[in-house]
Structure 1
């Protein structure tokens, strides 16, 4: 069996491009485009389904890459681009469904773009010039303790906002379901009042972590810019 190691520069490029984890990335690309198409057709339920499946594949490709020893540079590139692209799609679409909150979702997009560009700039600098980046400050320490040093909080930080955005779309579907098909189907198993209550509670819980992640990301970025500004 061919070993796809990130240091193996003699590996067959086509085999690496279409190995198991990267094939999942290609599937994710297709799913994202299809999800946008469904959103444009106002088929928001299929939009959620395709987007959720894409998110599931995002978790699976990393597991496959590690277990099959198929970690590659192109895989890391896919991971960065597709994760950001998936976030942009969800932020923009939810912002369109909830115009009164569109500023918040576009702030999310801006923060993600700034973080990507910052990391891109930093990665181009010699390591000898990055000593300032690894110095801790009160702000960075506080942010790290608040989320990243606790495994359960870290998990909620990763998946809480995704659940929050998905539930916002589901809530929109239920409120604006003119044919009431989805509502009638759900009412076979649970009353509508209980559904709304469950969605409301979950939105409040996951929304807190969504806002927390936005705040912490903003603080981390501000802290990095502050440390960069102090470099002569």
Structure 2
């Protein structure tokens, strides 16, 4: 028995706890090597699992989710490589290039949209699972319960609006991640 609703609940709780952890760490100026490592690894692992699961729910879009996994994996490998280099050899990383300018001048770095940039993609993926639950509800228990409070047409319209709005930020994050990755590779190739 697959219980997708548990995924939505666990993923949402995990996201809130991760956010609170980050807020408290920044507010209290708490840093540790182990904490940074776990933050880096656990967030990425959660994204990999989420992309793979949602790709299985929506097989026609699985290529998009594989691209997301590949981009995150390449970024991890590249950043790990850069972090392993001696700090004196990183002057090439701070040079301005066309790609770095293009990546930085974007809606992605707008302070007013920062929350959407951070959480929009996760909301998008969570709502995709919710949509799948509603469409694939075989015994219609959940739908009958929801219809007590809101019509299905209004609910589907609300889901569609959320998917369009947060889907924009999901695609934006993928594009910006690709841009920064290409920029780092370009800089590294030009390094002496």
Shared fold per TM-score greater than 0.5: yes
What's the CA shift string for 1:155-193, capped at 9, x where partnerless? 211111111101110000000001111111111111100
Please, what TM-score do these two structures have when normalized by structure 2?
0.94
2:103 maps to 1:143: yes
CA RMSD of aligned residues (A): 1.4
2:56 aligned with 1:93 = no
CA distance in 2: counterparts of 1:127 and 1:192, whole angstroms: 57
- Checking the alignment, whether the CA contact within 8 Å between 2:108 and 2:176 is kept in structure 1 is no
Judge conservation of contact 2:108–2:172 (CA < 8 Å) in 1. Answer: no
Rg: which structure is higher?
1
Relative contact order (alpha carbons < 8 A, sep ≥ 6): 1 or 2 greater?
Answer: 2
State the alpha-carbon separation in 1 of the partners of residues 106 and 24 from structure 2: 31
Superposed CA deviations along residues 178-231 of structure 1, whole A, max 9, x for unmatched, are 111111111111110000001011111111111111111111101110111111
3-state SS, counterpart of residue 191 of structure 2: coil
Contact 2:121 2:166 in 1 (8 A): yes
1:65 alignment partner, SS class: helix
Paired residues, number: 192
Give the TM-score normalised by the residue count of structure 1. Answer: 0.79
Does 2:95 match 1:158?
A: no
Residues 93-102 or 54-63, more deviating:
54-63
Matched, 1:179 2:131: no
User: Which of these residues, 109, 112, 125, is aligned with residue 69 of structure 2?
Assistant: 109
Identify unmatched segments of 5+ residues in structure 1: 1-40
1:76 and 1:123 map into 2 onto residues whose CA distance is 13
